[in-house]
Chains A and B, each alone.
Chain A
Amino acid sequence: MTEKIVAQYKKFIRRRVWFMGITVLLLIGFAGLALVSGSADTSFSSLLRVISGNGEPFSSQIILSIRLPRVIGAVLAGTALAVSGAVIQSLLKNPLASPFTLGISGAAAFGAAFAIIFLGAGSGYSSPADAAIINNPYVVTVSAFIWSLVSVVVILLLSKYKGATPEIIILSGIIISSLFGAGISAMQYFSDDVQLAAIVFWTFGDMGRATWRETLIMTAVLVPVMAFFLQQSWNYKSLQSGDEYARSLGVNVTRVRLTGMVAASLATAVVVSFFGVIAFVGLVVPHIVRRIIGSDEHFVIPASALFGGAFLLLSDTLARTAMAPVIMPVGILTSFIGAPLFLFLLIRGMKR
């Protein structure tokens, strides 16, 4: 009988592993699709030739130098945002929480704009490919991270109050967002044309800025953050039953919550500083994942990572091909998908 119970559970776990396996396959499929679609004509067969090392110079150039960094950038950004969202939802026990709805993304965008205007991280010329060239990505990222911590501190202080319901926390997140939005508007008002263009681009997330340099920096930040989240997943799981119970299991609740929030905002800040605000990925993806595999952080974290990557990659491919030749920033598309879901979650929360 005991063996039967354990076997049942293992079967249940295998379903979760299967889900992750299928997501990996989807991710590979979407990557192939993204590499061949676009304004320049490339086919699957030319993609295969490029992979095997004897592609035509033109398609090799397009696929390896333009599309591949963008694909990897989209996957990494989707992973970072989705995992941050999943972790933040667990840490705050708040189904509406995500980097965007808590104002962390907005604060990071402000920090990035701040670095361009006041810290001289953006240079004063533009190129046909982008409105502004960021010649010092480290300064932009660090500034985005530091400003994102401002909103994390406010959220953590607020969530200490007993009366702070999930809705009130989200409301404060929206207030923080609009405050930083006002800050960005103020900087726009005092900036010159090129800086203005750069800041405007920040407010809709766009994968067009992805180059090999960005993907390398993102990987360097994301790998340790992911390892940390996976190592902490049982701590996050214990929080589901309440802080006092988690403490009785030997979990240092304050430290777990603080380090988790800082790591999540670091991941968010890196994405925002490179690609701008991509809304709702961190909210939508963990919800879909939890609905499919159940609410167990040990699996929700890696599954959200994979699913988030696949989700943003597909969204970006749709955004740049659906209205061709117009390339739409992916942040606009994710907002169209995410905002109705957010409203739905809010209404469902009110009924509870």
Chain B
Amino acid sequence: MKISISNISFSYNGTPTLSDIDFGIEKGDLVALVGPNGSGKSTLIKCMNGILKPYQGTIFINEKTLSDFTPVELAKEMAYIPQNENRNASMNVFDMVLLGRKPYINWKPSEHDLAITGEIIEALHIGHLAMRPFNKLSGGQQQTVYIARALAQEPDILLLDEPTSNLDMQHQLEVLELLKSFTRKGLTVIIALHDINLAARYANKMMMLKSGRVFAAGTTEIINETNIENLFGIKVKIIKDDGDLFVIPKGLKQEKQV
């Protein structure tokens, strides 16, 4: 599934949040959106999912534009994991994952819907949690359930907004390993990430956003000291080790003394 973001601009009640975003994504890419708070990462993800409508520009999925899809058709192509979801839902894990089948369900789920839900639960190794209430799970387990629910939509594109922000280091790596493994099967994954090191390690493409504009875009080659320092307003040191990149913050950038 190829995505082209063409010249997108969006504003919230007259305040421009995104301006002239242009980007191309190929099937199987793992794209990281990075940038400071309020740079427009979440807004861009919501625009890609049709939750927000840009006032200018188009998003193409293969050759079709977003508006060529009905909401239900789009839900079969693209799954979204929001950043702030109600984590207090008391339904059990199976029901939660089954909810991802919603675009395919009219009155009640079919045997096929149940089978797919069972398969995904098993593939993600959460079978032992299947009958447990969602709100009693740990943060890492909840994130895995969200990913399972998104996969139940059988999407070609997966959008995630800060999936690792509440997780410990082990679970952060687990989630990204999992997503990376899906991209090898042809899923296109787009993640808004705060952690530049995770982005450097797992993404093959990256877009840096600053104040709603593309600051830099391309492969992870764009992670260099000048770019990071200007993007986040901090001083950093970048270490290369065996082809891995590590960004080490060294402190705030001092304003120039006049």
Residue from the list B103, B107, B127 in contact with A250, Cβ < 8 A: B103
- Chain A hits for B85, CB < 8 A: 241-242, 245
**Cα distance, A14 to B173, chains bound together (Å):** 39
- Chain A hits for B121, CB < 8 A: 2, 5
B70 on the A face (CB < 8 A): yes
Given the interface pairs A5-B94, A6-B114, the reply to whether A240 lies near B89 with Cβ below 8 Å is: yes
Task: Please tell me the number of chain A residues within 8 Å of chain B, measured between CB atoms.
Answer: 31
Residue-wise, chain B 43-77 has the 8 Å CB interface mask toward A (1 for contact) of: 00010011100000000000000000011111100
A151 on the B face (CB < 8 A): no
A12 on the B face (CB < 8 A): yes
- Chain A hits for B105, CB < 8 A: 234
User: How far does the Cβ of B214 sit from chain A's closest Cβ, in whole Å?
Assistant: 24
Task: Please tell me the number of chain B residues within 8 Å of chain A, measured between CB atoms.
Answer: 43
B102 on the A face (CB < 8 A): yes
| Residue of chain B at shortest CB distance from A3 | B118
**Cα distance, A249 to B150, chains bound together (Å):** 10
Asked if B86 and A241 make an inter-chain contact with CB atoms under 8 angstroms apart, the answer reads: yes
A248 on the B face (CB < 8 A): yes
User: How far does the Cβ of A31 sit from chain B's closest Cβ, in whole Å?
Assistant: 29
**Cα distance, A245 to B85, chains bound together (Å):** 8
| Residue of chain A at shortest CB distance from B161 | A244
B119 on the A face (CB < 8 A): yes
Asked if B86 and A250 make an inter-chain contact with CB atoms under 8 angstroms apart, the answer reads: no
Given the interface pairs A250-B103, A251-B71, A298-B108, the reply to whether A2 lies near B79 with Cβ below 8 Å is: no
- Chain A hits for B102, CB < 8 A: 234, 237-238, 249-251
Residue-wise, chain A 224-268 has the 8 Å CB interface mask toward B (1 for contact) of: 000000110010011011101101111110000000000000000
- Chain B hits for A21, CB < 8 A: none
Residue-wise, chain B 80-112 has the 8 Å CB interface mask toward A (1 for contact) of: 101011100111101110011011010110000
| Residue of chain B at shortest CB distance from A1 | B122
**Cα distance, A295 to B150, chains bound together (Å):** 21
Residue from the list B72, B78, B119 in contact with A2, Cβ < 8 A: B119
- Chain A hits for B95, CB < 8 A: 294, 296
Residue-wise, chain A 278-311 has the 8 Å CB interface mask toward B (1 for contact) of: 0000000000000000111010000000000000
User: How far does the Cβ of A242 sit from chain B's closest Cβ, in whole Å?
Assistant: 5
- Chain A hits for B72, CB < 8 A: 250
Residue from the list B89, B90, B115 in contact with A6, Cβ < 8 A: B115
Residue from the list A10, A234, A241, A252 in contact with B71, Cβ < 8 A: A252
A residues neighboring B (CB under 8 Å): 1-6, 8-10, 12, 93, 230-231, 234, 237-238, 240-242, 244-245, 247-252, 294-296, 298
Interchain residue pairs A-B with the least CB separation, the first 9: A250-B72, A248-B80, A250-B71, A250-B75, A6-B118, A2-B118, A5-B118, A249-B102, A9-B94
